[in-house]
Structure 1
């Protein structure tokens, strides 16, 4: 007598979209970002559409493929390593989880695909990096910072398309609650650079949707500061907001001072922010 393998029942496509919505990924975002460009309603009617969709979603978010399709398992966002959240008052970690999941997956792919050899920049001073940049540029700019990172095997990616707050219906299955959706200004951490997991490289992700090169330069310099100051040896840092305003977090103060010294030549350089100008008005 032969034994017949009993496979767990799988969900349908509607239920899959419902699960993703409850996790913080609305259907519009899943369709436009997590699924391939050729995806269409006609294909959704085919027999294998739900399996195909789950495969793409799993690869692009690190969500477990089997769990996505299972009818009796709770889907949760993956913990891809250790993270240190730098949050503003009133923000909860869960509010950044969807954006973090996207950024982590992009950083993993970018780290593995980067062909530049990794060079250790930890321990360098702002003046060291500034002097190196000024050999080829008249001043420290966004372009020069990106060039420095690339030459040292530190990829920099800009992410500005994150899921917005989902609409959760009472009929949807219980997952981790996501009352709000927020994104981060910057993230930095070490990610695997080869299959043997013997080499990790730092990757910087900028999530602020900002056109000003000055702001983007400060954010990038701040994240470089986290690397050289040794803040990300054991865990990634997710900065919800990065500003030159005073902070009570010693690591944020150190990264801010490093960024200002790198951009302006000294860590106590004066600057004017909109907040300061409003206070003087």
Structure 2
């Protein structure tokens, strides 16, 4: 076996993986002295292959080959080469598989209508919000996490749905300080699963924010309509704002007053107005009037994940890897 760990790190980065992803996948037990041990060098490469979705045989031979290349469909992903897509595909498949294996099986979300799921969530709650969506996912055996480490050097993913053996995992990536933004993204990804877009072992990567509006892709339009019905009760909600133009403060005031009438969470109502009026930047600015300063939403998402995941059988390297990329704890 040839090559040093420094060269191995460089090779992984050259293949398209971010430095943060490589370091997160690096086993905690590794130390410089292990370089002299052929068995330790081999075990290092096996661990990296498991975590990053690489061919272990190729990596032992000092070559980087991604196991999953053609299972993902990329929505609106531009200016990303084939190797970077393969890195994103394989990273997602590996992480999604680890999450599914660490989550109690359930009935899943395939085939459930937006109306039925909304009805379940409104049993005991006034609106459908982010916490309700997270509860629905985990209770059906569908893990949802927010990645704190991007697989690529440049963030090129808003969210990803990973199919694994007929089950699914949702990987969120884009940061937000307001729950309505993440709620719409999650509702959109639930739509992809429920409508059968992902299949049992496929992957869908959404590069853009679903709340900013679809661009004609039939699956994206269908997932948007599912999200609107799930969050608001109709795929074509009749939203009436009594002025033709508005600024962010006016929009916030309007949705705060109208939300009880519609039975919709105010931030979600603002996004729906933006979706219908093509006023996404105004809705984003309105969030601070609706929620105040906000707080990192990823923490709430991964706090739920930390309670729900059972990592006892994941193996020490996989457990440390998941802990690092989700910031569940110091890993």
Q: TM-score, normalised by structure 1?
A: 0.76
Q: Where does residue 125 of structure 1 map in the other structure?
A: 113
Once the two structures are superposed, residues 54-79 of structure 1 have per-residue CA deviations (whole angstroms, 9 ceiling, x without a partner) of 122112012122211215xx422221
* SS class of match (2:57): helix
Q: Where does residue 136 of structure 1 map in the other structure?
A: 124
Q: Where does residue 51 of structure 1 map in the other structure?
A: 42
Q: Is the helix fraction higher in 1 or 2? A: 2
Structure 2: how far apart are the matches of 1:246 and 1:202? Answer: 23
* Unpaired runs of at least 5, structure 1: 1-8, 166-180, 193-199
Give runs of aligned pairs for residues 175-254 of structure 1, distance below 5 A. 181-192=154-165, 200-233=166-199, 235-244=202-211, 245-254=213-222
* Unpaired runs of at least 5, structure 2: 238-271, 285-331
Q: Is the 8 A contact 2:91 2:151 kept in 1?
A: no
* SS class of match (1:78): coil
Q: Is the 8 A contact 2:69 2:85 kept in 1?
A: no
* SS class of match (1:271): helix
Q: 1:61 to 1:90 in 2, by over 3 A?
A: closer
Q: 1:93 to 1:250 in 2, by over 3 A?
A: farther
Q: Is the 8 A contact 1:84 1:236 kept in 2?
A: yes
Structure 2 residue 55 is matched with structure 1 residue 64 = yes
Q: Where does residue 160 of structure 1 map in the other structure?
A: 148
Once the two structures are superposed, residues 19-62 of structure 1 have per-residue CA deviations (whole angstroms, 9 ceiling, x without a partner) of 2121123556423x01133544x435543453242122112012
Structure 1: how far apart are the matches of 2:94 and 2:185? Answer: 21
Q: Where does residue 3 of structure 2 map in the other structure?
A: 11
Q: 1:205 to 1:26 in 2, by over 3 A?
A: closer
Q: TM-score, normalised by structure 2?
A: 0.66
Of residues 226-235 and 212-221 in structure 1, the stretch that sits farther from structure 2 once superposed is 226-235
Q: Where does residue 104 of structure 2 map in the other structure?
A: 115
Q: Where does residue 262 of structure 1 map in the other structure?
A: 230
Of residues 211-220 and 10-19 in structure 1, the stretch that sits farther from structure 2 once superposed is 10-19
Q: 1:80 to 1:146 in 2, by over 3 A?
A: farther
Structure 2: how far apart are the matches of 1:108 and 1:220? Answer: 19
* SS class of match (2:167): strand
- Give the CA deviation at 1:145: 0.4
Structure 2: how far apart are the matches of 1:215 and 1:152? Answer: 22
Paired residues, number? 243
Q: 1:159 to 1:147 in 2, by over 3 A?
A: same
Give runs of aligned pairs for residues 266-281 of structure 1, distance below 5 A. 266-269=234-237, 270-272=272-274, 273-275=279-281
Structure 2: how far apart are the matches of 1:271 and 1:95? Answer: 35
* SS class of match (1:135): coil
- Give the CA deviation at 1:94: 4.0
